[in-house]
Amino acid sequence: MIQLTVNGQKRDVDAPADKPLLWVLREDLNIVGPKFGCGVASCGACTVHVDGKPVRSCSLPAGEAVGTSVVTIEGLGEGRLHAVQQAWIEAQAPQCGYCQPGFIMAAAALLTAKPKPTDQDIDDALNNICRCGTYSAIRRAVHRAAAILGGAT
């Protein structure tokens, strides 16, 4: 049994400590926003925040998340749309949508660390893979999110 804090709630999970966090979230906790893409920390579809940092949950043993605060896309806005999600809607960033939770989580972490990122900052921090090729829309969405967080309407 391991105890995790996910989206602000303490959750007891009957899973081995070496089970990847992604699969604990999806299979044991029915939190399915984090997606499975590659399973080897390459694509970013499974990105969640662990103590505010973007982490590829397919490659993190759940036991290593004990004692941390895990946030998934379901908890990002704390019951409302987060500014990044609002910007994503305004910029019409997704196509099929599969990769987008990972991009949004990575973008939210980037904007916390760097409130006014350049295109290069975005490309460096959001090295996720989108098979639909939404990269330019995602850059637009991140700039829009930066504007919203900076007080623009």
Binding residues (CB under 6 A) for ligand FES: these are 36-39, 41-46, 56, 58, 94-100, 130-132, 134
- How far is Cα 59 from Cα 90, in angstroms, rounded to an integer? 32
Asked if 126 and 107 touch (Cβ cutoff 8 Å), the reply is yes
- CA dihedral for 68, 11, 41, 102, sign (positive or negative): negative
Closest approach of ligand FES to the CB of residue 105, in Å = 11
- Going by C-beta distance under 8 Å and a sequence separation of 6 or more, which residues neighbour residue 137? 91, 92, 93
Please state the closest distance from residue 23 (CB atom) to ligand FES, in A: 10
Count the alpha carbons within 13 Å of 104 in the hemisphere toward its beta carbon.
Answer: 28
Q: How far is the CB of 22 from ligand FES (least distance, A)?
A: 6
Comparing CB distances to ligand FES, the nearer of 5 and 95 is 95
**Least distance (Å) from ligand FES to the CB of residue 79?**
25
Q: Smaller CB distance to ligand FES: residue 53 or 131?
A: 131
Q: How far from 127 is each of 25, 41, 137, 139, 152, CA to CA, in Å?
A: 23, 11, 14, 12, 27
Residue 102 vs 117, nearer CB to ligand FES: 102
Q: How far is the CB of 130 from ligand FES (least distance, A)?
A: 3
Q: Which is nearer to ligand FES, 12 or 62 (CB)?
A: 62
CB-wise, 112 or 127, nearer to ligand FES? 127
Residue 148 backbone dihedrals phi, psi, to 5 degrees: -60, -45
